[in-house]
Amino acid sequence: MESNQPPHLYAPYKSTIFRSPTKPLIIVAENLKDLRLPAYGESAIGKFDNDLTKNARVNGEPIGERIKVFGKVMDENERPLPHVLVEIWQANSAGRYIHKAEIHDAPLDPNFLGAGRMLTDSAGNYSFYTIKPGAYPWGNHHNAWRPNHIHFSVIGHQFEHRLVTQMYFPGDPLFEFDPIFNSVPKHAQHLMIAKFSMDYTDPEFALAYEFNIVLNGKLRTIFEN
Ligand SMILES: [Fe+2]
């Protein structure tokens, strides 16, 4: 079966030239894959940590299109994984991050931090309310823009259950121009794109997007190297 994962080195995505490994990778021994990862206590998760429309409110609502992003975290046999830590971070609706290295000339939103986290429930489900992120330029090449995306980090209970990835939105016109998106083999690109869900859309409140995550095995969600 052809791999779904991107190569470590993909020249059009320029940073990979500098950070891809120059020596052969060390393969983790089979008996070490079940090693347990450090546990994160549930008490560390705050009540509004999975609601980015509320977790940084200063004096009002964040600006932009409110959305719900939800899904299931699973292992290679599609068994749901309860109590794994799902963290997200993203630009605001204007395509601007709160980060000291950020230089994009777009406004910050005083009511939007752009970061959230939660533990999956007993059936492996997670759900965030947030604001749909804007596209932003990133200087990789002339007129380079990132498609709208949300960064994900998942930390499960085992060494193998660690994933960093990006979720995209269906029908984005920037897909064909983005080297990060295109570093992933064509046949696997759909695994990074959330599905719009009318069934889970909250009437009068927020459109819903479903993004399921597989942490290991052949169907593993795309890992951002
Ligand atoms: Fe980003």
Q: Ligand 1: distance of its center to the CA of 24 in Å?
A: 28
Q: Ligand 1: distance of its center to the CA of 90 in Å?
A: 6
- Residues β-bridged to residue 207: 67
Tell me, what's the pLDDT at 30?
A: 75
Q: For the chain, which domains are there? A: 15-20+37-214 (2.60.130.10)
Mean pLDDT of 126-144: 97
Both tokens of residue 137? Answer: 């330029």
pLDDT tens-digit map of 25-80? 888 777 777 677 666 666 788 889 999 999 988 889 999 999 999 999 999 999 99
Tell me, what's the pLDDT at 62?
A: 96
Give CA–CA dist 173/195, Å, rounded. Answer: 16
pLDDT tens-digit map of 88-109? 999 999 999 998 888 899 999 9
What's the mean pLDDT when you consider all of the chain?
A: 92
Where do the DSSP E strands lie in 27-124? 66-74, 85-89, 115-119
- Residues β-bridged to residue 116: 88
Instruction: Compute how many other C-beta atoms are within 10 angstroms of the C-beta atom of residue 3.
Output: 11
Question: Catalytic positions, please?
Answer: 97, 136, 146, 149, 151
Residue with tokens 């309860």: 82
Tell me, what's the pLDDT at 102?
A: 84
Least confident window among 69-78, 139-148, 153-162, 202-211: 153-162
Q: Please tell me whether residue 175 adopts helix, strand or coil conformation.
A: helix
pTM: 0.93
